[in-house]
Each structure stands twice: as C-alpha cells, then as structure tokens.
Amino acid sequence: MVEMATDAGWYALSRRFYGRKVVRDLLWSVTSPHVINRDLYPVLPADFGLVEDEKSCELLVQWLDDLQADPTHLFTFLQEKTKSKKTALALGVYFASLLEYWLRHCPVLRVEKFENSKQIISATYQTLGQLKFLFRRFFDPASDSFDDFHVESSVKFFLLHPLDEQFKQSTPISESPDADTSAESSFYPLEQFVGPHLGENLAWRVQEVARKLDMCRGESVQAWLRDHYSDNVLSRIVLRGYLFYPLRLFASTSEVTQGHDWRFHANPLDKPTKDVRHNKSIGADHLRGWWTSDLEAEFVSKVDVNDKERIGESRFVVLPKLHWLSPVIADEDPADSNRVVVTGEDVLQIETVEALTLTEVIAHARNHFATLADSTEAQNRGGVVMPLLVAEIIRCQPRDVEFDPSIKRWKELSRGFLLDPKCWDPLPLCHDAVRFKRTTHQANAAVNTREYEGRREWLNNGVIKPTDREAELLRLQKMHSFADMETLTAPAMCQELLKVVDTRGHANLKHSIVNVLQYQAAHKEQCDGVNSVLSYVLEGLKSLALEQSLADSKVAQRVGHLVLDAVEAMKEIKYSSEDRDASVDFFLLIASDEVHWSYTNLALRLCDMILSRGGGDSALSSPRSQAITDVLEKLLTHQNAKQNALAVEMVRVFRRETLTDERRSRDILDLLIELLDWQNAERLVTVTEDVELLSVLFRQLSRRGMTKALKRLRRLITRLHFNEDESLGDPAGSAVSRLPQHALGPAVDVEANRELVATQLPTFRWEFVDSSSQLASLMDGLHSIREKQEPSIIGLDCEWRPQAFINHNGKTTSPGDTLGSNQGDDDEEIDEEVSVGADEGVSVYQLSIGNITYIVDVQTLGEEAAAPLEMIWSDPSLFFLVGFCVSGDLRRLHHSFPSVLGKRSESPLLVELKQMALYRQLPASKWGLSQLYETCFGEQLDKEQQCSDWALRPLSTQQLEYAAMDAFVVRKVALLLLADVVESKPLAEYVRKFAVVTTITHTERELGHWITTLEPLTTSHVRVSLEACGLQAVEQKIFTLDKATWDGCARQESGLIVKTIAVVIRRGKENKDIQHAHYAAVVLHVERSIDMKALSQAVDAEESDLMLADKETLLRVFGYRRGSVGPIGLREQDAIQVVLDAALLQEASILCGAGQEDVVYPIHPSTLVETMHAQVAGISS
C-alpha cells in the first residue's frame, strides 16, 4: 500500500518543478528517503508526503503551487521558530519546522490535536523526555476513522570512515570483479559512519531511535497517551539526511548518486549494476554523497572522468548549512555566463551563494583549512576544523524537469565533503556507539582534545540509568548517622558536624540532626522549665561560640545555622516564656564580649524563632530589657556598617524592647543617614514598616538619585497600600496615602465611592449651543467658576462625521449606504492618525460643567466655538478637563482650532480617564467607556447614535442626547474615582499624573499621549529583586543567550527557556458586583500556549474575564516591555500572582526573563514557587 501511494503521488508530481528553495526543502522533508531501513524501523509512511487518489494529488499539487507563488504563510511560520527575525534558524530546527508545517497544514492529511515537544513526567515525578510531534490523522473524509501518531524527527549527515584493510587496497566498485561477494559477506559497521562535526556516529543515533521507541512503550508515556489520545498511538521515526562515502570507492563523482538520488531531482545517468556494501540497518535507497581529503589528485581525477559529452562541465557551490537539505538549483546570469548563483531566502536569513570552478573551489578549501587550523574556534572544538560541503552542479538538459529554455538553469549532480585530515580525526568515534561529551568544564580539558561518551543504559520506559559514578555520588549523599544518640552530647554532635559539614549534603545532615533532636524530645525531661530540645541546642551552640578558635568561627557558624535549620523544621514544638528567657540569656552572653560578636546573628535567629512560636506572649523582665537596650547602644556607638546591621536586626527581633519611645526609631534612622549607611537605613524602614520613616528615607534617596533603592521602597509602599490595618486609620487620610506615588494606587471601592458622591452627582441636563447668545451663557458659567476659585472637573467628548459618510470626493453619502463607526474612542481605541479623513475637524464637542452638559456646534459657530476651550485651558490649576481615549479628540480639535493647541507658554491640563481607572485598579486598558460606566454605576449606555452623520443639520434630539451623555458619563466616572482622595490631596496634584500631551511641540502625533515619568525597568532591577529575595546565587548567573550560537531550541544546557505572560484578571468569582484588576505573571514553556480555561480555574475567575496585558499595563504594573518580563522584579510585585505551569516542576532549571530581551537567569522551579509564593497549576496547551 505504501509503495502504491508513493508511485501514485510521485507520478502526479513528477513533472512539477519547484524552484523556490523553501518549497523544495518542504517537499524534501517529507519525501526524501530515510537513512534507516524502513523494514527494521517504524518510519513515517510515504503516504504522509505522497498520496494515492487522484483528487488528493490535485489538491496537494495546488497547495504546493500556491506556496511557490506566495510562501508568506510558510515564511511567517518559520520566523516564529526563532526569537529574532535577524537570526537564521539552526539546520535541525529548520528541518523540524518544515516537517511540522507539512503535518499541520498539508490539506490532504486532515490532522488535528497537534502537540509539539510535549514533556512527559512519570508517576514518580521523573522527567522521561519530550515527545516531538503528537497528532491525530483522519483518513476518510466520509467517516470519523482516525489514527493517533507520535513522530520523532531529525536530519543527520554521516561520513563513512572504514577501518578495514580491504578498503585501503580497494578499487572503484564498477571495476571490482567481486563486488557482489563483498557486499553479501560483509558490511560497514554503523560506528564507522561519523558526523562531520565529529559529534556522534550513526550507531549512537540508531540507539537513540531505539531509546525513543522504548520510552514510548513505557507505562508512564502510555498512560499519558491513553488519557490524551487513545490506546493505540503509533510511534514513527523520521531520520533523513545523507551518508557520504570515500570518493575512492567510485569511478567518478557522477556515479555516487546513481540509484541514490531524490525522486524529484534525478541523476541523469542510468542506475549502476554494482553498489557499495551497506549495513542492513541503513535504508537501501538512502541519499548518498562522497568525501575526500585528496583535493589535488583524487578530487580532480574523479571529476574529470565524468561523461562530459552527456552532462557537460561541472561547477561547485560551497554550501552554507541551510542549503544542506534538498539538492540545489542555480541560475546562470544572462549577462555573464561565468556567474552562476544559488538563490537563498532573505526573509529566513538563508544566504545567496555563487558557484566556483574546480580550480576556485580547491583554492577556497585550501584557504579555509589554513586559516582555521590554528584558530581559537578550532581549539574550542578540540582541534577540529569543519569540513566543507560542496555541491557539484551541471547545466540542465531538455530531458530534465528543471529545464527552462528561457533560463539557463543548473542542477545538482553530486555533493561531497572536502576535508583536511590534519584537522579532522574520526578514529575515536569509529569503534563504539559514542558521541561528543558535552560538559560545562571544557576549559579544564587540554587544548585540541575531545572527550566522547557511550550510550548509557536505559530502563524499559526509556529513562537513562545513572552511571556508576552517579550512583556512587547518590550513595555518598545518604543520611549521616550519629553513633549513639542516647549518650551523644550536644557539644559532641557539633564537633562531629564540624568534621563532615564540607563533605555531606545540607539536607541530609539536617535530617540527621532532626533525628537526634526528636530523640531528645522523646527521652529527656525539661530542665528548669526549659524545653529539652532547646536545652540540648543551647549546649551545642555555646560550645560552638565559646570554645572554637577564631580561625574556625566561620565553619562553626555554618554548623550553628545548620542546627537551627533542624530546630526550625520541628514545627510541632511550642515554646514558653522560660524558653524565651533562656534564648535571650544566650544572646546577652554572646553580646557581652565583642570577641564573640560574629555569633550574634546566630543568637538573634534563635531568639526570633522562640518569640515567633509562643515565647513572646509576655514582656521580658526589666533587667533583660535594659540589657538588650544597652547592647543596642553599644553596637551603634561603633558607627560601622557591620554593627549597624546587627543593631537593625535587634530592632526587628526585639522591637518592643528596643523602640521604647516614638522617637527612638527616628533617632536610629537619622544616625544611619548621617553615616550614609543606606543599606541599613533601608533595612530599618523595612522591618519597622513605619510610614513616617519611609517618607524621610524616600526623600533622602530621591535627592541622591539612588534609583535601585527607590524601586525597592516603592514595592514596600505598594505592600503597605494593600495591607493597611486599622491602626493606620482611613486609607484616604493615612500617612501611606501621602507617600510618593507609584504605578498603582489603592483599589477603588466602587460601592463606597458611590455613596460618597451620591449627593454630588448632577442630574442629566443638556443644552445645545449653536448661537452667539448661547455661547455667551456657557462662558458666563465658566467665569462664575473662576470667580469662586472652585477647582472643577469638566467632562469632554467630541463627535465628527464618520468616514462611512464620506465618499472619495468628500461628499456626504446617502442614508442607504453602509454606515461605519463614528469613532473608536468609546468602545475601542483606533489609530486616528492613519485613518482616512482624520484631518477633518469636529462637528460638535461637549463639555459637562456642573449641572449642565453643553453641546457646542462647531460646524455652525466656526472659530467662535473655540472660546470655551481657550478659557478652560488658560487656567490649568482651576479647570480640569477629563476625557476618555482623548488622542483622537485632540487631533480633531487641533484641526478645528489650530491656535488652541499650537505652541503656547503654558500646557493645558487634559486628564485621561482610562489612566485614572487603571491607577485605581480597574482593568480598563481594553474597555470602552460603556463597560467602565457599567462597572462603576451598574447602568448601560445607549450607543445607537454613535454611527450617525454628525455633519447633517439639524441634529436630532436623539443625537444631542447621545452626545451630551458621553461627556456627562466621563465626568460622573471621574468624580467617583476621585471621591476618596480629594479630601486628602490637592486635586491638581493628584490628577496631573493622568495628564496627556495637549501642546504641539514637534509633531501632532504626540497629542493625547499619556505624560508619564515611568520608564521600563531593566535587568538591574531584576538583580536587585533577586538579591532582596535572598537569591544572590541566582543573580550571579544572569546571562545573555548567544544569538550567534543558539540553535533556537528551548532546552539549553543551563535549563529550559520559559516565557512569562502578563495577564489581567478582570473579575473574581467571589465578588461579581465590583470589578477590580488583578494581575498574574504566568510562567510556561516558551513554545507552549496558555490554556485559558485551565488558567481561569486556577485563579478563580471566568475565562471571559482573562485578557493579555497591553503595552500600557505592562509598563504601569509589570514594569517591562513585552519580551523581557520575568516572574521576579516586577514593578508591582505584590499585586501580581505568579502562576507556574505544573509541567515545569520536574525541570532541573528554567531560564526566566531578566528585564531585557534574550537576558535570562536559571532558577529551580521549586525555588521560584517558594520565593514568590507561586501558584502551581496545569495551565499550558
């Protein structure tokens, strides 16, 4: 059946020629022969590339013809596989992407449920590996019959390096009388086929194929496949590429591809009667090339003996890697027959290459090897200089399908590697199934040496077994055993720990100490009311602090903290006031002598632990309290950073004893500021959470431009905003609300603010202004406000003639014509700058002032209508104009009244309502005015008149009411959002943060843009955040992905590349009446997508309430530009829930964004979860 499908499909395509490289490569990826034997391995069937029935063949041909004419869709798909359009894909990624495109989009395959690079975790949480492609294929359009497939794919190139003596004496196959006997009696082992980079051999690759198949037969993988696909998923292998044989085995270069060519690019010569003996694991029809290291004699002679009368002269093309797939096609320059060019694909960074003569290609190879032999690149590869792959091309003849009489076209005849044996030694790979040993310690290896490793044993489910050395390391890491816990004293335990702390794992030692302490708890009695465990620990800590030499103090401190880690793990223990007193006495003992001050942090940690577990319910005795105060003063008198840090830690642990009066904390802060000890000053305000101290320090840091510290304080301010308790009083009047503002303000309580403004909101009244007398009445109202000096919020909106009512000559269309939207600012922001007709002014504008909304008829009044706007903008401290998505309104107003928004000495104040809503945590970035109004007041707006023609006169009552309502609603919502802040803040100061550009300085495009001082955060902010989280080791590992060497694969040596998606959650299930913005940073595999349904369940929201953050929200809330966001170091970190895809939990390390494109840091998923309190859920698809 397979062969029938192949023959039928081939016949349909046999006379088609696809000259576009990317289309030829696409066809090659699914129709070229497999390297491995299809009778021994379950390879992908031929009918995936070539179909049987006539109708499907026609459909396939038409699809390829369309791609040949316009490959844009294919280009876009391939570009998405690389992080930068300026970087070419790696060859393996290019091939896999072409195959994926065919499987996904070929119209005759009918593929569904496609998964790419699915990571499989076993029931014991062991990472088994990735399944490359998973999909369901429906065969019969008339039925629901289908097969589920799992496909593993790779493209490989191997050079045969025979080791037998017969080869050294061999003659060409066509001249060998006993070639058949040789082929039957023996074959070349797979180990003798080595990769051109000397990275692996064919035996290793075939074993990898077997391992992948074994993995798919394992129970864990089968269970997953049953759950997600069916009981019978067919695993198939795609291993395509070329095998290259020594050129001396052939009579000529043209003989190499006879019988071993691609069906859509045939060798013009007849098939030979003899063939190279091949291993039974190799496909009989595999694609074949040659290699030689003898450029002057063998290479030249084998080319010279080609049948030139039949095939003509040869040229040669040195092939860059992305030209290695399908046989090349070249075009001769009509104006210069000596210039023959292989065309690339600029969109994919595939370069165009010129052909060379035989003499030129030999000279090029000589120069290549001479230049690179002693280079750093060669040394880094263990002395290997990469061979050159060259394609031999000849002119197309009329019999060739590629022939075109109007184009002098050349086609590939053969291809082969030119190499220098001094820089290319394959012998280490030719004996066993091995590959190049990848290690992070290559710098320790000798120059020009390479290490290789064999295939490690795998279990039935394909999981790699640990090596003997790995098993030994696991054995050495087993729990340390103390000899006799009944007689083991605490000092003896600590002495033993001092000896083994450097050779045993921390977790295992901690577990051993816990066992000892649990024994003490079960078998020992209290001593003077002190817990038996604490008594034992205190004995050990005293021995460490008081009996060890200064030289051993660092190791002793490590052991002390290890013991406290074990105590902390025993969460079931509760402590009493006696326990607290004993721990405080230990601290005072250590602090009494400066010689032992290095152990002060250890003693403070113990006190903190006891106080937090019930030991701090009652006050300390006066002598102890006074002694603690004396220690604090003694530390501060030293006036150095080290003792200052201890003093601040004392404030944190003994706050009740150290801050005996309100001025004490301020005195300490003033001292630290005087000493310029900013790190400890920041630590002090953090541990006290005193808003007055925070304000003092913020001003000091602002004067000095210490941006990193300011960012950290802003995060603290954010947390105080969200966690205010009753002691701070009303949030609107608290000290917190007077702190410097940041990107997010306190969430608005819609219900409460409705009540606050209930008596202030006007009823809806409107007046139409289309005469000078009516305009004078409007101006009188503005003069009245100015006389009273009462700051006033004024709602603004504009209407103009929709583009749908303007034909190409500018005339109004008839009522029966199709109507378009009047403007996009109410329900959707559109780019007015690029819309046709955007240079037209407004027809009317509306001002909602006090109890009346005025509709000013600009079309009737002309320039006179500018007077109200001139007056409003002449006093920005008194009149506050508010609009919703005002950029379009401003540009239209500028065209109607150029003088109003021209260059002026002062900047009129116009506030963007959407920015105000975002600041108060309403998720309005993608809302229209209707949705915002409904959220705030539970009422709907009638938008029926939005699409009416505002240029026609007279305007209907319905139009006027609609126009007035929009401005009225803008003011009404603004008053609600300001209701709980106007009493505590000057109105002008507060609303100015939401202002937009109203003055034309350089370009009209600036109009309406939000004026913000917020700048995108950078990698430095991520570094500071990692340090603040105690992840200094992670911070030190931040690095930039090398685009020059990155192959586009998500899985790197240092971890799996992940992406962090910024998500806005508009509503929680627990509160359906009031909508607030909640935010999530969703971390998942870089090549996977968010399953919105699963995410909605994880964050307790409706699926319809989730949306991706726009640029504005990214800057305001997350702090970074798109493509550089990570889960740590966000601007409003405390307002953002980090959600980690459960599929990442079993990764050893994930690479998270570090504030700049391609900059990442490696972190263990569990560390991320613990540090950020991340939620873990299966949210990817």
Distance CA 225, CA 120 (A): 10
Q: Could you tell me which residues are beta bridge partners of residue 409?
A: 331
> What is the amino acid identity at position 987?
L
Q: Hunting for tokens 């490289």 — which residue is that?
A: 21
Number of domains in the chain: 3
Cα atoms in the 13 Å half-sphere on the side-chain side of 87:
17
Per DSSP, helices labelled H in 284-424 are 300-304, 308-311, 358-372, 376-380
Domain contains 102: yes
Same-domain check for residues 146 and 180: yes
Domain contains 702: no
Q: Hunting for tokens 């009522």 — which residue is that?
A: 815
Domain contains 148: yes
- Strand pairing report for 792-799 and 879-883: parallel
| Structural domain for 1050, as ranges | 1019-1177
Contacts with 758 (C-beta within 8 Å, 6 or more apart), sequence order = none
Domain contains 726: no
Query: Exposure string (b/e) for 881-913, b if CB count within 10 Å is 16 or more?
Result: bbbbbbbbbbbbbbbbbeebbeeeeeebbbbbb
Same-domain check for residues 792 and 842: yes
Judging by beta carbons within 10 Å of its beta carbon (0-12, 13-18, 19+), is residue 575 exposed, middle or buried?
buried
Angle at 1130 between CA 1126 and CA 1132, to 5 degrees: 145
Domain contains 234: yes
Same-domain check for residues 954 and 1045: no
The first and second tokens of residue 853, run together, are 């909304």
Angle at 923 between CA 920 and CA 925, to 5 degrees: 110
Same-domain check for residues 1036 and 1100: yes
684 contacts 668 by C-beta, under 8 angstroms: yes
Transcribe 671-719 into DSSP letters: HHHHTT-HHHHHHHHHHH--HHHHHHHHHHHHHHT-HHHHHHHHHHHHH
Same-domain check for residues 960 and 1029: no
Closest CA to 368 of 343, 389, 344: 389
Same-domain check for residues 1089 and 1000: no
What is the number of other CB atoms lying within 10 angstroms of the CB of residue 54?
11
Residue 264 is predicted with a pLDDT of: 83
Q: Hunting for tokens 């506030």 — which residue is that?
A: 911
Query: Exposure string (b/e) for 238-256, b if CB count within 10 Å is 16 or more?
Result: bbbbbbbbbbbbbbbbbbb
Same-domain check for residues 997 and 1125: no
Residue 441 is predicted with a pLDDT of: 40
Same-domain check for residues 997 and 1107: no
Residue 1004 is predicted with a pLDDT of: 46
In percent, how much of the chain has pLDDT > 70? 78
Same-domain check for residues 991 and 1029: no
Distance CA 1095, CA 1082 (A): 9
* CATH code of the domain containing 810: 3.30.420.10
Final residue of a structural domain among 339, 362, 389: 389
Residue 837 is predicted with a pLDDT of: 44
Transcribe 547-573 into DSSP letters: HS-GGGHHHHHHHHHHHHHHHHH-TT-
Distance CA 151, CA 109 (A): 15
Residue 170 is predicted with a pLDDT of: 46
Distance CA 1060, CA 1080 (A): 9
Handedness of CA 765, 769, 770, 774 (dihedral sign): positive
Distance CA 612, CA 624 (A): 18
The first and second tokens of residue 491, run together, are 């000092």
Angle at 87 between CA 85 and CA 92, to 5 degrees: 110
Please list the ranges in the chain whose pLDDT falls under 50.
Answer: 1-6, 165-171, 173-185, 439-448, 458, 460-463, 722, 724-742, 804, 807-838, 903-905, 1001-1005, 1068-1075
Phi, psi dihedral angles at 639 (to 5 degrees): 50, 45
The separation between the first and the last C-alpha atoms of the chain, rounded to the nearest angstrom, is 35
Same-domain check for residues 1036 and 949: no
Judging by beta carbons within 10 Å of its beta carbon (0-12, 13-18, 19+), is residue 271 exposed, middle or buried?
exposed
User: DSSP secondary-structure letter at 262?
Assistant: B
Same-domain check for residues 968 and 1063: no
Final residue of a structural domain among 354, 374, 389: 389
User: DSSP secondary-structure letter at 1113?
Assistant: H
Q: Could you tell me which residues are beta bridge partners of residue 458?
A: 464
Same-domain check for residues 1060 and 968: no
Query: Residue 658 in 3-state DSSP?
Result: helix
* CATH code of the domain containing 1093: 3.90.960.10
Domain contains 587: no
Per DSSP, helices labelled H in 191-276 are 202-217, 219-228
Domain contains 274: yes
User: DSSP secondary-structure letter at 296?
Assistant: I
Domain contains 716: no
What is the number of other CB atoms lying within 10 angstroms of the CB of residue 798?
28
Contacts with 776 (C-beta within 8 Å, 6 or more apart), sequence order = none
Handedness of CA 675, 679, 685, 687 (dihedral sign): negative
What is the number of other CB atoms lying within 10 angstroms of the CB of residue 599?
24
Residue 940 is predicted with a pLDDT of: 81
> What is the amino acid identity at position 463?
V
Query: Residue 381 in 3-state DSSP?
Result: coil
On the question of a cis peptide bond just before residue 954, with omega within 30 degrees of 0, the verdict is yes
Give the distance, in angstroms, between the CA of residue 848 and the centroid of all CA atoms in the same chain.
46
Closest CA to 1131 of 707, 811, 576: 707
The first and second tokens of residue 1046, run together, are 């990155």
Final residue of a structural domain among 373, 389, 405: 389
Helix-helix angle 678-688:691-704, to 10 degrees: 150
